Structure 1
Amino acid sequence: MNQDADHLIGLRDRGIHRLPVEHVAVDEIAVGFSPRTDGEDPDYVHALAETEGDLPPILVHRPTMTVVDGIHRLRVAAARGESHIAVRFFDGDRAEARLLAIALNVVHGRPLTSADRTAAARQILLAHPRWSDRAVGAVTGLSGHRISQLRKGTTADTAGHRVGRDGRVRPVDSSRSRERAGELLRSNPGASLRQIAAQVGLAPATVADVRNRLLRGDPPVPGATRTPTTRTTVPAASPTVPTVSATVPTVSATVPMVSATAPAVSATIPPPPPTALDARRPTPPAPRTSAPPPPPAPERLLRIFDSLRRDPSLRLSESGRNVLRVLSACTLVAQDREGIAAALPEHCKEPMAQLAHGYARLWTQLARELDAGEHPALSA
């Protein structure tokens, strides 16, 4: 079984949609792998049964012929008296099938309740205690802060290292790794962030934060006490700043006061040459006249998305499902924006930023076309 959360999310968002569709006898399929603590919803089955058109294929674990996703659709087929149902088969092991059942039910169909998500998160922490909070949250639809609360006091809270969504192992307490990164940056200012990150076991984004803290004269570990040596231990790559020549005559005691027309001494001293760290210092952003409004909370956006994906008029039409797939990708950004940014290679960040700015303008234009006024769902 692949132990990466990103692999599981990739299966959910892309992999299973590429699987071929087969038609299987309804009575050959068993029910299981449900993440719902309250079981099936007969009212939801009745509502689906009254809709027109074909329902999307269900996902079945081939080795056990057990439903991974689509129990209500299976019940609808039986209620309609249909002998066969459209099926996509998943060939992974049972443990991966259970995780996939959780991940799929988070993003479509009848939404999982908060209790369902919490129970699912506890199951994942029990099966994968070393998964990071963000990795578990990406699968269950809960925030990393909520996963951290559920982890406390359990066996999953004792591991010294955790596996992120990308499969990389990182320490829970990064203080020593940050200090080591600071030492490497001081001794070799020209080293790349990725080189240092690989040596100390941190993400490149974390090493970048350490570098910026050193440039400001702060300690590499947030919250640590600043020491007088913090600024002076970062070496400069250029020669030392030239000092005033020893041949400059000493001012005699009989020399009168400098007149108002005399040139300022400081104007004749050239500025020090830039150092290697100065060249790597990020360009400060242009000043803004006013701060942009904060984005809506991810939980609020998720609730709005949940209400949309429950709407049969979207779920049961091809165009509606395309819209929901786009919105599903947007929820991933809302839930793990920082993780996505940290996982990007350095050379991809600028083009990614250009895309994000462009898409943001298109989304803003679409929002204005849909509703010229304020969105009550986002401002409530």
Structure 2
Amino acid sequence: MNAEELGRRLLGEVEEAGMEEILTSLRFLASPFPHSSFDIPSLDRLLASAQAPPGPQVQQAQAPGPCSSPTRPSTVIIPSHSLPKTKAKPPIIELTSTAPGSGKTQLLYFITALATLPPLALSGISLYGKSAAVVVIDTDGHFSVPRLVEVMKAHISRCKSSSQPHSRPASSRSNEGTRSIGRFDMMRMIKEALTHVHIFRVTSPSSLLATIESLSTYLFDTNAHHSGNRAVHSIILDSVTAFHYLLPPIQPSHTTNESTPKLTSAQFYQSVLSALKTVQQTFSCNILYTSVSLPPARPSNTTNSTPSHIPANLPRSLLPISWYAFPTLRLLLARENVPPVAPAMSVQEARRDRDARQSVVERGGFGMIALSAGRGELGESVGFYVRGEEGVVFEEDGTEEAEIS
């Protein structure tokens, strides 16, 4: 074999990659826990299960979790084959429910708090934050800044009362017993975090689409905000189905005085889908969106409106089929069941069971079940609790699980 043939063979073994792909892979490899996208062990575990194809064995790495369960280390499942040679795509999560008040927005508060708070307080106490920016597109008018502040306060208080500070040099350990987070420091951190939560309130399908399409222009304009030196952690859309019943299924045949015709339902959802993909590709950020689903179809001897490949006991999405493969993980959220009063129950029996029903309400239990995208299969379930000033709490130790349907 002469030098020319050897050179040709070696050249054929060279893999070509763009600079963006190389830098993205390096950033992915440099992260100690690349699948810990949210630092919520329960959610990260569901994501790891959804992203890992069957086959190779997995490795386990110990990763610190948020302060909801600080006394025991959290385990993040990292597939052994998950360190890619190509670009790693950030996760896309759909939060859906069949009824209001199912905990979707409460979960978004907690994710936003962890994304924008700093990793450490000045006293050295770990807050498990990411010091990033979050964009919230609020179509329902439900996203409350005072409630977000309340969730941040509760999270910092739990970390202050139960988490161990990160280690410091030996010369500075004499005052370890006095480490704490004062009210002034807490409010300063929260105020700083809030400057990196960008909330857009939209009131129509056209304004929603225009807002998503203009995000790149807004975020790259460092004069418009204070997040120029922060990465974009997540784009949150709450919710994508807010204008579902305002969209015509087909283009009206009659002419109107409007300069531009209204988008049909299919056109609108396809445009939003394309715009979200473009934003994620630009900023390499997580996408979270909420939706409303219809309750499971009741069995009927006369009609069958549910497709045969979708189990009848699962909720029916309002989103078109083109969205089924879009999310990395689809989660069905519901409030914990409260035992109903049976029709034949006596007054004495109802009074006897009153405390049990009230305790369920006071627990503020919610649950989320993983749905396999496009296949309509039930997966692992996770419980969390919303308790007023206590914020949002995940029970990582498994000692207390919300019972949902």
TM-score bucket of the superposed structures, by smaller chain: under 0.3
Could you tell me the TM-score, scaled by structure 2's length?
A: 0.22
User: Rg: which structure is higher?
Assistant: 1
Greater relative CO (CA pairs within 8 A, separation 6+) = 2
Determine which structure has the larger strand proportion and give its number: 2
